[in-house]
Each structure stands twice: as structure tokens, then as C-alpha cells.
Structure 1
Amino acid sequence: MSKNVLLLETVADDALQMLKEASDMNILTGYDEASLQSQIQNNRIDAIITRGKGQVRDSLMQQLPELKVISRCGVGLDNIDVSHATKRGIKVVNAPNSNADTIAEHTIALLLMLQRNLYNAVTMVKENRWADRGTYIGDETHGKTLGIIGMGNIGKKVAKIATALGMNVVYWSSNKENVPYTFLEFDVLLKTSDSISLHLPLTSKTENLIDVSALSKMKPTALVINTARGGIIDQNELFNALKAKKIAGFAADVLALEPPDKNDPLVPLENVLITAHLGSLTKTTYTKMCTMTVENTLAILRDEAPMANCIFNREKLGIG
């Protein structure tokens, strides 16, 4: 019997072609609420594939008694209720380590843009203000201390690039890692780092980890970079710290609310650089995330072995 795979969002062309060529699979699409409900009411759903926006909560799972797999074309699982999926015996699949290189690059690019004030420098020329070069203020990263919060796959790659740039790398993580960088207690890292880069998942323990207390411990010259999840930072307190010049700058690819409200006061600040959560949207990485996810989803539906570590709730499901 053919299996029904429900797409909540579009996927890369190569991944979609893989699904189309799978003769034992039917592709269903639920890109909006109306089409989603229609598919649920008229079809058995064996697997769901989403990216970052399609929400898979318990209320949806309750309507899908045959659901075997929920797959996310990416790494973070904020949009999937993993705990309820685990209780229901549904495998939650992601694409581990698929975006580490591109997010590390994006992190360093934001750091360099902020440290060297490149956005304003480029804008100066585009606006025919070459003579304003005398007002330019920037600095180099070489010799400065980068504090990495979260030394996972991405944190390690950021550290490697930063070291090549001549930065001194220190880190804090929930567990000490076997890395050639100095582990510091959280508060010590905040006090000693010239730049701080966040590489943690968003959980109940990390939500608003960078709060008014953490911000108050940073140097007034400190730069904060966030390419992890917006909710790790208390955005109101971040705005207050930047406005009062208690820290020097902020660059991010993520915000607590995406897209931001048009009146969000953080976005227009001169010492703030924000990109639209596109760090993983390079052609290479986007295709890799989607094809990897589809390959593993098909394998599971066919009772074949998927790649190692792609099942996020593997241990809770008792899967070897």
C-alpha cells in the first residue's frame, strides 16, 4: 500500500523530485489551514514533512492516528511538539549538523560586519558620502576574545574560524567539551568576552538566558551575536542595554518574533544588524537539509535504516 506524505511547506526541488520518483509514496500538500484540514479529513497521513513554519502540535497529531514520522528539514525543532510525539510513538526526524557550516559562516560574517561597521561603511559610498570616511569608526577582531555560549557542532565551527582570525576563544556550555578552548563559568565569560556568540537550542532553561542580569555583566564595548534562537535573549532588556550604550552592538539572524513588528524599536538602532532568519538558506545547505530529511523519511516509512542520529527522540522510543 502506498504511503501518504503530507508537506506543510515547500521543499527544495531535488527533494521534491525524490518524493515524486518514489512510486510507493503519495505527495499531499497542506500549505494553508484550509488545504491542511482537507487533506486530514480525506486521507490517511503516514508522514509529515515541514521546515520551520509548519506547526506540528499535539492537537494535529490527535487527528492523525496513522502518523509514523514527523520530519523537519533543518535542525531546530521549535515548531514540533517532540514530547507529545514521543509519547505517541511517532519518530521525529531532523537533519543534524546539516547547517553547521553555513550558520558558522553567517555568524562570523555578522561579527565582522558589526565589529568593522561595514554596513554603514558600504551605505556611505552608496549614498555618495565618500567624504564622510573621516567619521568612520571600526575595529578588527584580531586579538579580541570571543565567548561562545554553547559548544555544539556550530559553536565548534565558529570557534575554528575565529581562531584562524586570531581571536582568543573561550566558551561556556552545559557540559565541558573536549576542545582546545578555555571553559569559563557563565558569569566569567560574560565579563571577559569582547564578543559573545550564542549557539544553544531554545528550551525552558535557555529562554531569556541573556536577561538584564547577564547584559549588566558584559563590557560596554561588548558585541552580541545570535544565530541560534531569538527567545534566548530578553529582547526588551537587550534594547534597553543597547539604547543606554551598556553594550556596543548586536547582530542576529533570529528574533523572538519573526517577522518583527513594523514598530519594533530594536531593528532601526544604528548599532544593530539583523538578517531575516536566512543563515541556512544558501542553495547548498537548503538542498542538503531537504534531501537528507526526505531520504530518512522514506527509509523509515519503508522499514529501512535511516542515517545515524537523524531520529531526535531515538532513545525515548527505544530505538537502537
Structure 2
Amino acid sequence: MKLLRYGPAGQEKPGLLDADGRIRDLSGVVADIAGAAIGPEGLAKLAALDAAGLPLVEGTPRLGPCVAGTGKFICIGLNYSDHAAETGAKVPPEPIIFMKATSAIVGPDDAVEIPRGSVKTDWEVELGVVIGKTAKYVSEAEALDYVAGYCVIDDVSERAFQVERQGQWTKGKSCDTFGPTGPWLVTKDEVADPQNLKMWLKVNDETMQNGSTATMVYGVAYLVSYLSQFMSLHPGDIISTGTPPGVGLGMKPPRYLKAGDVVTLGIEGLGTQRQEVVQG
């Protein structure tokens, strides 16, 4: 299934994408794409529905973030060997973990704001993993049982805030609009192998990133298990698993976003995003 949320910001309704690519309203079935609705029993209930019998949503409404109630937005740094190489960094012996504020989360096609004082706003296409049931001390072998599905994320980053200012990376990752998420939560049964998905990103139609989740250092199952050793993962939590090469920071000379740019990105089978860049 491809689950989604549509409508004005803060007033999104739950929906799903039918076989013909049309939005069907789920408001009469679940309150939102969150909590128990994305757990194993909730997803089984949704999968049993006759999509053709659900109300059809007319037009092309705004799409919101594909999951609600996200308590933790956990990001993994330098998790692609080829990306680590382009930034001159060594592949870490354990996953680098940092948090992105949940207030950064926006819809997949919402505008991205360049923060005040920013001169180094960058892009990163990433595979997002959405947790479906509480995970604590889980093994790598059972880790995917706790995953509801996958989505596209643009891990927008302000490199000066992230690297040149003192302290941790979080402040360079958490600015408003720095977490476009969606368009859909694609349930894991539709993703045969999360470690073999093509991914790409363009700025003004120029290809910047053209990679694959195959070059991840630490795969999805490992990350879910690893994180669960340090914190409980709850339904709606998102793990953003790192980016392939082609970010602005790694270019020679570096290249960053400016107002008026248009960023488009996508991951095989998970949909696409489009963001206009504006001055915040």
C-alpha cells in the first residue's frame, strides 16, 4: 500500500493511493496515518479494504508528511561509503546518530526555506524508515518486523550551522522545512529489498545525486536493531538512513541552494518530491 496524508498543513486527512494513482479518503477508517494504524494489525486492516469502495478525493490536493505523530526523527551520518569519500571523511566504525527536530517535517512538495543568515543550505536525498511497532533491544534478524514501511526524505542541511558552528550537528539539520517527508508511506511488503533502491536528486533539472541504497554502510535492519539498543523506537518514528554522493558540500567548489532554485528528488518505488527554495 501507498499511504498518505492530504490537505492544508495541520489539517491533513488520511488517505491511500489506489491502483490507478488516485487518492482515496481513509477518514472513515482511521483517524490518521499514525500510531496503531501503522502497526501490523492496523496495516492488515487497511490492506483488506476494497480501495475502489473508498471515497475518491477530487483534484490534486496538497500532500502532507506521509506519517503523523513522529516522536523521534533520527538521522544517520556518513552512511554511504562513496558519500563519506567525497566529503573527505572516514567511514565510521559505528553509525553516527543525530536528531532532526520534528518541527522540521513538512510535506514532500512544500517550499524549503533558507534560514536567516544561511549561505550553505544543502540537499540530501535519503531513504526514510518508518517504525510500525515499539522496538526495544531487537535483533538484526527480527528488526524488519518492526518497520511499517519506507518513504523519501530530503535531509536539508545548513553546512555552516552544522560544521562550522560549535557543538553537534542538530542545529544545522533542524531548521523549519528541513524535513520534507513523503509523498507516501510505502508499506514494506511493496519493497522487495530496501538495500537495492535507486535514488536521485536534481537542482534546477541538473542531476546532482544518482545513487543506490546498495552502497549503504549500515543497512536498514542493522540500523533498527542498533538504535533499539539505545532507545525505544515507537510507531511513527522516522530513521533517515544517510545520503549517496553528490551533495553541494562535496563539490569543488562547493555549491549551495539559493532562493528560486527548484529541487526534485525520488527513490525507486517510493515516489518523488519537488521543493521550491525560498528565503526564510
Give the TM-score of the pair, scaled to structure 2.
Answer: 0.26
Q: Which has the higher contact order (CA 8 A, sep 6+)?
A: 2
From the two aligned structures, give the one with the greater strand fraction.
Answer: 2
Which of 1 and 2 has greater Rg?
A: 1
Give the TM-score of the pair, scaled to structure 1.
Answer: 0.23
From the two aligned structures, give the one with the greater helix fraction.
Answer: 1
